[in-house]
Structure 1
């Protein structure tokens, strides 16, 4: 009986084996019982990178290359499929290994081995077939590298502190990262399939959204700031970049939005700007105060001479009985000088140039006096109401300063009602449990104060005027009706005692100016919060 090995040898001797092997696309190698190569086909020579002469008679240990496993570690010769089959008689299939030539790129093969039996049924030789799978291995490696990059990118996006939103071309959300869910207070399930308009705050104009969509639909990236709202209604200011994502044909299929919460940054910028404005405002007022204090005394001395000589001249002319027109002129000079003297006194008060003489002062006594003085200058169409808490303890304060505060606020209220309305003066304890901002110095404050409030139902203060109300010489009154020093003096008197000013005004609905003096000025006070 002819054995498989005899058949192969006879076919080789007849010349039939070569054409059969060379017609195969896979590499074929026949090894004898010792593992030495008897024959190889054309595909084997090409894959192994050796000629027939270099292969014939070679054992696995004498070949000029090494075999490696898929993980790159060396493959011992005894684990080669051909030797395994020779040793055990068992065929091997789909064994992947690499051929490593010195200085060359690894060639990857997938090998099978089949035993050839002699007449007694023993393994006398082995046929190994193998295919070059190097392109497949390269593709797998590229795929693994791509998957690794994608995993890294996905992890980076998932762990990013910025909100990431991916939508389709119609704006439906297809992906959100955890930072986005945390920022807006929605779960991933609630956002997937929704539209980003769910975040709209109403503060971004339709024109801005139109520009955004026009930009990204044209294939460009839009960058800007948007105001959005979280689920609980909290306003979020965001720096946003929205970019189109194109497919392999260059068509825009998706949009990716990167959002960074800059709410705190913008708030800090606003605070810094407010601080700079506050410092500049105080510097301007301090400059005017210094200037006023420097010139007021000298100017007052000049006015003493003007008023003194005008009174002497007026007296002499009246005794003479002649030149009544000149008497009138001198009277006008005297009146103008008296006004100038009042202005100088206000400048001195504002500059804090005078000595402070605090003593126990009851606000109700000074309030009645100030209201009485104002009533004497008012028509019957203006009502003045005093509502001062009689239980207030006396304040350790200069009564002249309290009088200045009340009278200046009352005069401003009188001018605001313009001949018809109601003016009220009140004083009581107040407690602020939330931080407030001073209308004149812009500093924050809270706690217990004694509030002196003058309220009117006049035309109110225009928003564009509120920033400058307490600046010296700023006035909205007609020429000749005010010097612009009234509220500046109120500012100076209040802050002389570490107090503050609170202002409420609405156009057409009147104004309330509240001077807040520290509760520490009270004698025998009880520090219980007052709602």
Structure 2
């Protein structure tokens, strides 16, 4: 913070007033000196009567004029001059009375007194003058004092003459005092106002956010700088004004590649000619740190000198913010381009993969049924080409996944527990959070920070979906994917072992028209103040880059489940299970299954799959229809049902009512939701098996066999 005392210059108007007073004294001194020589002359003519006047004028007026020239002696010099003149005038009056010329100089003396001092002092002096002149009048009228000349003596003895002279002198003196004081007070008031404005202007300049420098072009150095210039260049004011130049803080070349010296000369010439050049400029401070500035040049008065004012504003921060905005705009434009490309390639990949699936399936059937080895060998290149086509679509869909990750071996159970511990405290009290964590969960290799962020995003989305409260469940499990598939968003999931993390809520669900767009960047079903539309796309991008995927299942009014598939990490590669393991190859003997599934395509696939495995299957498209079938024939060995279905009976309700008819009926549940979130608290039995879609053929058959075997053991027991 600069010292305020240091920045206040000498008041120019006070300086001007003192200069004026000094000139007045000099002017008066000329007359005094003339009077001095006249007194000397008269002393030689009339004798010693003028000797005292010579001494007074010489001591009080002539000598101070010669030796007291400094401003600090101005008041003393004025007092001595006034005193000398006053005494000299009184001596003159004492000698000559009314005929003394000094009598008419008293108004000037009082005017000088009013100039140098206050109105009060001047009026006191005026009163004193009137008293002294009255005393002189009495002395001359009483003939105590007598002039040497008879005519003058006779004039001095007339009282009326003295009255006129005293009154006239006092009136003129009072008029002079009043006039001078009005002029002085007006001057002082104007001086104070202008000085105050000057001080405010100096303060504005001194504390301006921009550096302000005044350059004398002819002399080539600065004549004035403000505090911001000191801070900007890291150099004291004295050094800037006396030992350095701004050119010393300028690199040889500007960022544009132009020579700094030539460019500065061009801009200075423009300013000197009356222009107002504004340009960007690169400087560096005393430590060599470079910064970018905006410089404005302007010529300032007095115009008899070549003075250029430079306003220098540090725009480094502004340029950084502008660059950041440009980067954000570029990212937005890139996101929009990627969204367009993704939608285009997604549509192409969807149709193309459907075509490839038909081609590949028929080729595999032809190869399996064909007995001619030569034909089988001809079919294989077609299968390979089809697989390369599928790989091409995968490459198209993986475009734009470039975020850097730092994957580590981690335990997702620990991640869920840690996240629940701290994130759970941010949930409202009307939201219950539960976990169902599988023991001996496989390890995964993923970025812990990104994984935690993805899980937290899903938790917050679940919270927002339950404004009136509800249940939030997080589950982990090990799953096997035996054949690669592409989900509804054209995400490829490679065969292998995965760790599944499912986050489910009992909120309002997601409408079908929105479900297709929730992973689209900047799309959000929330208000602008509560969602940016980037959370789920970030989750999807992270999972895709980690080699996994994310799936969502939702029903309006029931809830939503997000499933994160992380590739399992293991040093011991699991043995590939045969397509038809021995326990599956063993044909069940007359086992009958009641299948309740509302999706026709899924129902058809499950029916074909179970029938191919030797089961007798009776499909039903709703829980209500399944109950009606079971009431007509309660001899079915197992119920395989979806949990969420249209109609009165959901999967859990269907199981309850069928078990009221036959208590030992084994049930296998399927759902796109996390099983714990959906069936918790419905009174289902611990032995009931719950499968999460999509269900692999091997897992489905193993679950059905296990349920039948468990029920058989119970019956035997």
* TM norm structure 1: 0.42
Question: Given the two structures, how large is their TM-score scaled by the length of structure 2?
Answer: 0.33
Write 1 or 2 for the structure with the bigger share of strand: 1
Tell me which structure has the larger Cα radius of gyration.
2
